[in-house]
Amino acid sequence: MEINLKGKLALVTGGSGQLGRVICRTLGDCGADVAVNYYRNAAKAVELVAELQAKGARAFAVQADVTDEASIGAMRRQVEDELGAPDIIVNNAVIQYQWVSVLDQKPADYESQFRSCVLHNVLMAQAFVPAMIARKWGRVIAINTECAMQNFPSQSAYVSGKRGMDGVLRVLAKEIGPHQVTVNQVAPGWMISENVPDDDSEGQRSYRANVPLRRRGYDQDIANLVVFLASDLANFISGQYISVSGGNVMPTI
């Protein structure tokens, strides 16, 4: 058994970022064609597209602000003109900001998280799900976080955005399920990546000590679940928030 996405087109928001690049590569390795969305990092997006094309995938870099309706509309038209209508959307982009206590967090940070978590998912669904409904097949996959279950100090703006996103996507799963379009969330823990390598600092030792597997995972672990959810192997999985955290958080029944 293998994950085969040949003949499918995926669009990954934030595709030029560190996690986005791993997701795009893994989709391409499974046979999918890939539209790589970027906001500012055009050079990384173009480099990634060349890499995907060298492996035989059709690939295209497309700029868009995922918090802006007109920008997403323009991205949809560009992707459709270049590659066709996506079968799979992976909503991965998020705005970064400084984490501080609720009493000190700027209101603008809550607004940015609402826009990049909630509105991002709403606008992507409105732009790309109608074509999936027409085909009676589609995948909406969104990147959430273990923080949405932890609610630790200084996480309030991030958590508020991600928990709002969770509500939108659960409703969306019920609304579009009859059309055989699935909606799922992948919730990473604190993963090993280009920006945050594994080390022996106190913060990392403390984190690993609370993970049942006693280690941090990799961005690749997230991408592996994304491609599974994008495949026909996950035909009957929808409306789920799935933790990729080594058991650090455990959604309950």
Q: Domain coordinates of the chain in residue numbers?
A: 9-244
The number of angstroms, rounded, from the C-alpha of 251 to the middle of its chain's C-alpha atoms is 19
Helix (H/G/I), strand (E/B), else coil: 146: coil
pLDDT at 196: 81
**88-91 and 9-12 beta bridge pairing:** parallel
Question: What does the pLDDT read at residue 241?
Answer: 98
CA distance 144 to 241: 8
| Catalytic machinery residues | 158
Strand partners, 11: 35, 89
**What's residue 153's pLDDT?**
97
User: How many other CB atoms are found less than 10 A from the CB of residue 137?
Assistant: 16
pLDDT in tens, the chain (253 residues): 789 999 999 999 999 999 999 999 999 999 999 999 999 999 999 999 999 999 999 999 999 999 999 999 999 999 999 999 999 999 999 999 999 999 999 999 999 999 999 999 999 999 999 999 999 999 999 999 999 999 999 999 999 999 999 999 999 999 999 999 999 999 999 999 888 888 888 989 999 999 999 999 999 999 999 999 999 999 999 999 999 999 999 998 8
Cβ atoms of 119 and 204 closer than 8 Å: no
- 157 closest CA partner among 115, 110, 101, 114: 110
* CATH number attached to the domain at 9-244: 3.40.50.720
Which burial class, exposed, middle or buried, applies to 242 when counting CB atoms under 10 A from its CB (0-12, 13-18, 19+)? middle
* Confidence (pLDDT) at 195: 80
Q: How far apart are CA 155 and CA 109, in angstroms?
A: 11
Question: What's 194's DSSP letter?
Answer: S
Give the pLDDT confidence score for residue 199 in this predicted structure.
Answer: 87
Are 6 and 31 a contacting pair, CB within 8 Å?
yes
